[in-house]
Structure formats: structure tokens, C-alpha cells
Structure 1
Amino acid sequence: MSGYQLTRIEEFQEELYNKIGVTEPSQLTIEDISFRMNVWIYYGSFRSEALEVKSGMYTMNIDSRLEPTQQWLDFLHELCHLLRHAGDQSTMPEQFTQAQEDEADAFALYASMPFGAA
């Protein structure tokens, strides 16, 4: 598409996939990206969430009750929080929390289907 300018979150997603070597749609899986990003994944009957255990060491809980497509989107949403956000949302102003949630949702959208967009 000529004249289209990527958003900052699209640029971030594209740079991330280039950095970790994701070049094929078949690599767009929780298992593949979590391995490349050194994110430990746990599935269980709890809501999806992520945390940085220590600098560069991540863990993520994925709700096993969800359909695989929703698990994938939850994974991407939480990955954005790990990579771009800091702080405890329970102590943040609502507008700041909402901005983080909106950005994580946008990242999940772009990261789930990036090929052929640029």
C-alpha cells in the first residue's frame, strides 16, 4: 500500500518479529514466540496475566478455559504488557491503565496477523 505509514505499535511489532527471527506465519504460535522470547508459559484455570520475574525473565499464565484463538490473543496482549509497560495497574490512574490496555489490544491485533500488511 503506497502512502501507508505504520503506527508506532505496528513498527514495534515489526521490529520485534525481525529481532527474534519470525518470518513465516507458521511461527505465529504461543510456543514458538514464547521460546524465542524466553517467556515461561503456564496454562491453568485462572485469568491470563504476565509478569517479569527479574530483568529479562518473564512468565505468563494463560487461561486454559479459553479457546485456542483467544489464548493466542491473550498471549499477545500480555506480551505487549511485558515488553512495553511498567507499574502496577491496580495503583495507576484509570486513564493510564486504559491507555496501556488499548495499546496491548492494538499490539495483539497487529502481532496476530502481520504478514503482507506492509
Structure 2
Amino acid sequence: MLHFYYKTFLENKVEVLYRSHNILSPDHIDIDLIADVFGITIVSLPGAKEEGIWDDYRAAVFLNANKPSIESREAFFHELSHILLHTGNQLSMNRGLLELQEEQANHFQLYAALPFYMIQQIHLPSHEADIIHVLSSEFRVTHQLARKRWEQIQRRVFSGKQQLKFENEVRNQYRRADPSNWSDETKSLYELAIHRKQQKELHAK
């Protein structure tokens, strides 16, 4: 089923970044390792506002030390998106651009926390509840995020199937329109129609 899945530009970008730094399996998705790879300092403080701060020289992600580590991991991936993909001060940003960046960060979080090329390596059970549990356990994310990612994958798979169906229908239409694929009966009817049209045009002159 997963072979119908298609990756977005952003998802491919995350995969290229990961692969270029040999982040190849779920156990490699360690936020300290990833922060080190991208030159980011993690600052974990009780009650801290979860946010990324960066300039041309330094970058830091602040995490709330009071939260469970599994939730802090998810917050890290969201803020990592802003550091790697975005520029500008969100405090002075117009609402439309701010919403776009947040939407991108939400997608990036799913791609970075549960990369599809790693999911493909896992033997997934047949029942959805079990799949959610496996993804949550393998990638050390909450069941909520694992479910969100799995539902996204299912939508992409469905969309991929529909696209393939559409392409096949278009190809079949062209195939039927190609005279070389016509039956003898169809060719005879076509030739008869052409003959009658020519006769009609001849008498009309």
C-alpha cells in the first residue's frame, strides 16, 4: 500500500538533510545529535517558552524542562523547522505569512519526527491501533503525533491511488482513440461514415 505514497518538496528536503548527515534509522533521531549536526544549542529550563531563536551566527531552541521528554522532542522538531526554513521576526510578521510558516512547521515536524523513508523500513501490523503504537514506540513520539502522521500517510496513499487511476483512464482514452487499436467492425463503420460524409458534401456542391 505504501508504494502509492508520494513525498512533497518539503518532505524530500528533510530527507536529503537527514541522509546527508547519516540520520538513517529511528534510533538516529536524537534531538541532541540533530542539534549538534545543525549547530543548534538546546536550552532546557523549567517553564521556558518553547521557541527557536537564531541569527546569522548562532541558533538555540528553548524547551520546557517541566514537560515529558517525549513532548519536548516534538516541540524541538517544530522549532527546528523555523530555524532551518524561515527568516524574519514572527512578532512583526503579517498574519498570512505567520500562518504559512506555522503550517510549514507543523508539516516539517511530522517529516522530521517520523520520516517516511524510515517508516518504509518497519514491518507495520495490519490494525491501525497497532500501527499507531508501533510508530509511537519506534520514533519516540506521542500517540497523538503518530496518529496524525499515519492519517497523513493514508491521505497521501489514497490521493496517489486516485492519481494513478486518473492516469490509467487518460491512457485508455487515448488508446481507444488510436485507429490502430480499433476492431474491424469499428474501422468499417468509420469508413462508412467517411464515405457518406464525402457523398453528402459532393451532392451539396
TM-score of the pair, normalised by structure 1: 0.89
Separation (CA, whole Å) in 2 of partners of 1:117 and 1:79: 24
Unaligned runs of 5+ in 2: 122-205
- Report the structure, 1 or 2, having the larger helix content: 2
The 5 A counterparts of 1:16-95 are 16-44=17-45, 45-55=47-57, 57-95=58-96
Separation (CA, whole Å) in 1 of partners of 2:61 and 2:72: 11
Separation (CA, whole Å) in 2 of partners of 1:64 and 1:75: 12
Separation (CA, whole Å) in 2 of partners of 1:49 and 1:25: 24
Partner of 1:116: 119
Q: 1:9-54: per-residue Cα shift (whole Å, max 9, x none)?
A: 2111101101222012111121111121111111012111112243
1:3 Cα offset (Å): 4.0
The structure number with the bigger radius of gyration is: 2
Separation (CA, whole Å) in 1 of partners of 2:61 and 2:4: 38
Separation (CA, whole Å) in 1 of partners of 2:13 and 2:71: 22
Separation (CA, whole Å) in 2 of partners of 1:22 and 1:111: 10
1:117 Cα offset (Å): 4.4
The SS at the match of 2:23 is coil
- Report the structure, 1 or 2, having the larger strand content: 1
Separation (CA, whole Å) in 1 of partners of 2:81 and 2:26: 19
Partner of 2:11: 10
Question: Relative contact order (alpha carbons < 8 A, sep ≥ 6): 1 or 2 greater?
Answer: 1
Separation (CA, whole Å) in 2 of partners of 1:33 and 1:96: 27
What letter corresponds to residue 113 of structure 1 in structure 2? L
Unaligned runs of 5+ in 1: none
Whether the aligned pair in 2 keeps the contact of 1:20 and 1:37 (CA below 8 Å) is no
TM-score of the pair, normalised by structure 2: 0.53
Whether the aligned pair in 2 keeps the contact of 1:47 and 1:61 (CA below 8 Å) is yes
What letter corresponds to residue 5 of structure 1 in structure 2? Y
- Paired residues, number: 117
Superposition CA RMSD, Å = 1.6
